[in-house]
Amino acid sequence: EVQLQQSGAELVKPGASVKLSCKTSGYTFSNYYMSWLKQMPGQNIEWIGNIYGGNGGTGYNQKFKGKATLTVDKSSSTAYMDLSSLTSEDSAVYFCARHRVPYWYFDFWGPGTMVTVSS
């Protein structure tokens, strides 16, 4: 069974950084891409970028370059996203979701991690 398990909710101060994780199981991690997506409360979904489980190659939405950094640990089949210089605009739920190029749709999603930026 495919599972994407995300880390718990975070409360962080403005200007700080946070690292979110997405631990996977039930499929061959290196054969898929992992995307990260942002959903602010009551808002639509934004694609942040993706990373290939095989070689760690990345692609970013220009809007999130400099804000998000994606990495993987193949040994534990886990994807990570670092968010830096956090502001209130970064308060959101962040999802990880897998896809397989050239099929750019998301067939499995993690449950999401709520990040709250507040002093």
Partner 1 sequence: DIVLTQSPATLSVTPGESVSLSCRASQGISTSIHWYQQKSNESPRLLIKYASQSISGIPSRFSGSGSGTDFTLSINRVESEDFSVYYCQQSYSLPLTFGSGTKLEIK
**Which residues contact partner 1 (rule: CB under 8 A)?**
35, 44-47, 59, 61-63, 95, 97, 103-107, 109-112
For the bound state, the minimum distance from the C-beta of residue 78 to partner 1, rounded and expressed in Å, comes to: 18
- When the beta carbons of 62 and 119 are compared against partner 1, the nearer one is 62
- When the beta carbons of 6 and 77 are compared against partner 1, the nearer one is 6
- When the beta carbons of 26 and 59 are compared against partner 1, the nearer one is 59
Structure tokens at 3: 């599972």
User: Which uninterrupted H or E stretch holds 5?
Assistant: strand 3-6
For the bound state, the minimum distance from the C-beta of residue 13 to partner 1, rounded and expressed in Å, comes to: 25
